[in-house]
Amino acid sequence: TQTGPVQGYCPNPPPPSSEGTPICTVNPGETTIAPGATSTICRPGGIVYKEVSSVVSVCGDNIPGPDGTCSGGISNVSSGTFNRLVPATEVEIGDAYLTPYAVIVTDDTSKDGLIQPGETASFVIQVLNAGPRSIADAQATLIAPPFDLTDDGVANPFGASIPVATASYGTIQGTQPSVDCAPLQLHPAGNAAPFQITLPIDHPADTARPFQLQFTGTVDGAPFSATVPIALGVADRCDYAAATRDYDGLDGLASPMAKLVPAGDPVPFPSKHFNAGNTRPMKMRALCGGVELRGSDVDAPEIVGLSEATRGPIDITAINLNDDSSAYDPFFRWNDSTKQWIFNLRTDEIGTGMFTVTIRIAGRKDYVTGFELR
């Protein structure tokens, strides 16, 4: 049995207190979920949401926890908190309201899909219009005000160079609210040309860097403007001398295959198809702080998934994809002559179609690429 009193959210918030912060508890109560069952709470009409802290208690005779009362009986009770999304009804949406949706890194100095100190990165920022009216002729300018990213009591703001700061978003469609809890039809819009930034080499790592997107456009012919806050994650730089077996750069897959991108990004495909049944060499380099990683420096890249567009996932444990091995072996091998990691992919057992292959780098992060066999 699971109970969850919800606290911290008000559909009609009271006026601010003398301290300037509304204090409220909305929809207090408990929802009991039977073992093996699920519970869904539907709030029709909500578009913009916020996180609030909630409490969940799990009850049962065979779970860790102190004795307590649950559903009228005595049993072990384990409680904890979690953040829950609820409608942010205090936000005035109006005819148009822009909110961040996703950031897609299209290129960066080390080719690992991460933005790091000293790097130049290009990326697309997708936004959603939570209002019902479309924004026409939308243009956005990315700005990076100097910001103190260290909590050390010393004022040392860091800036960022933005070589490509302005881009067109075209028409950003509106979002129609749901009246029956059906999923909303979302229309994310991204910049036509990627933004580009360069971070200084001494920029703090493992932090979130604030930016702002300043939008202009028209809504039903009337001028529209908005400033959308964006936080971009800045990763740490890899230290080869520390022998961490980590990486921060990828070069590959080598042509004619398509490059690797982080899993979740749009899958790239080569400009041409390949013949089914032929072996496809997949070659790449991995780097740490600009130093090439060899077989003794890092865990070998590993194929962890293969799927076809219409047939879905393929069981790679049931076939031999490695042309260099007589048994199932998903790992790339280091070629000391060419200074590359290589995997000669057999295609005679997978047929034809549009394929996506997932490759795990350094045993910790998955990347994808695609190819077509005819």
Higher pLDDT, 271 or 327: 271
Q: With bands split at pLDDT 50, 70 and 90, how would you rate the model's confidence at 3?
A: very low
**What's the whole-number mean pLDDT along residues 349-353?**
95
List the single range of 63-77, 79-93, 271-285 with lowest mean pLDDT: 63-77
Q: What is the pLDDT of residue 50?
A: 80
Q: Give the mean pLDDT of the chain.
A: 84
Q: Which residue has the tokens 């089914």?
A: 276
Helix, strand, coil fractions of the chain, as percent rounded to 5: 0, 45, 55
Position 322 pLDDT exceeds 70: yes
**Cα radius of gyration (the chain):** 26
Q: Among 361, 354, 351, 373, which residue's Cα sits nearest to residue 343?
A: 361
Q: With bands split at pLDDT 50, 70 and 90, how would you rate the model's confidence at 139?
A: very high
Position 53 pLDDT exceeds 90: no
Higher pLDDT, 302 or 181: 302
Burial 88-125 (b: 16+ CB within 10 A, else e): bbeeebeebbbbeeebbbeebbbbbbbbbbebebbbbb
Q: For residue range 279-308, what is the model confidence (pLDDT) as tens digits?
A: 999 999 998 888 889 888 999 999 999 999
Q: What are phi and psi of 259, to 5 degrees?
A: -70, 160
Tell me, what amino acid is at 352? T
Higher pLDDT, 46 or 257: 257
Q: What is the pLDDT of residue 193?
A: 94
Cα(80)–Cα(53) distance, rounded to whole angstroms?
Answer: 10
Higher pLDDT, 232 or 30: 232
